[in-house]
Amino acid sequence: MYHNIADAPRDLQVYRSLYVSPRVFARQMWLLQRLGYTGMSMTAAAPYLRGEQQGRVAVITLDDGYADNLEAAMPVLQRYGFSATCYVVSGQIGQYNGWDAQRLGVRKPLMTATQLREWHAGGMEIGAHTRSHPRLTQCDETQLRDEVHGGKAELEDLLAQPVTQFCYPYGDHDDRVVEATREAGFIAATTTDRGRAIPATDPWRLPRIQVARHHLLPQFAMKTLSGYEDRRQGGRRA
């Protein structure tokens, strides 16, 4: 689970961990490839998540749809023949992180419609991350449907193809939210719960491993390629 592939602003006081520098990201992708892993989008990895195929795969996800994902992450992913899924807040396309910019003190540019099409044309996947990045468990039924179904419809109109992957903002979900996600037609959804997904994992409650700014390469390897995160519980901000 990544967010920004960029150097953290010097004046950013909180959530610097949401940034991974382009140089560090490139080293991490190099290590995966060196150890025989293939980086994949959610859809590409679906047969592995269902237990239909086996192999060394790492599902790469990026939350929110920041412009630096296209500028800094995609060239690295393409260099190694990897793909990734970027979860997009459909109501903020071409704008900035309106859900937390005031609290962070940083307006982070989000991909425009043209950039999202470029991301997709580059072999990458776009998933849905609602329309406005709310806490879904706090939404009433009308708001929940608008955020989940509406966000899916907006992205499908933009791409002219189905959008089947979903990510819960802040990792916030319960049985009602999961059911709304299933009903909308998504085939899988990611949380911020810590751990690696296995074929027995509920596809609408998939855990992930947050990769943060301060993680050195050995820490990255330990977190992603061992059972280290599987033994831990709890959520992460997304």
Task: Report if residue 60 sits inside a domain.
Answer: yes
CATH of the domain at 92: 3.20.20.370
Instruction: Name the phi and psi angles at 84, rounded to 5.
Output: -155, 160
Yes or no: say if 111 and 119 are a contact pair by the CB < 8 Å rule: yes
Quick check: is 237 in a domain? no
196-222 residues labelled b (16+ CB within 10 A) or e (exposed): bbeeeeebbbbbbbbbbbebeeeebbe
Task: List average pLDDT for each run of 10 residues in the chain, which is 238 residues long.
Answer: 92 80 98 97 96 96 98 98 98 96 89 98 98 98 98 97 97 98 98 93 96 92 91 55
User: Does some domain include residue 236?
Assistant: no
**Amino acid making up residue 117:** R
In a domain, 81, yes or no: yes
Is 238 domain-assigned?
no
Name the residue range of residue 71's domain: 4-231
Q: Residue 133 falls within a domain, yes or no?
A: yes
Asked if the structure places residue 205 within a domain, the reply is: yes
pTM recorded for the entire structure? 0.94
* Residue with tokens 């993680």, as numbered in its chain: 215
Is residue 71 one of the residues assigned to a domain? yes
For the chain, the domain total comes to 1
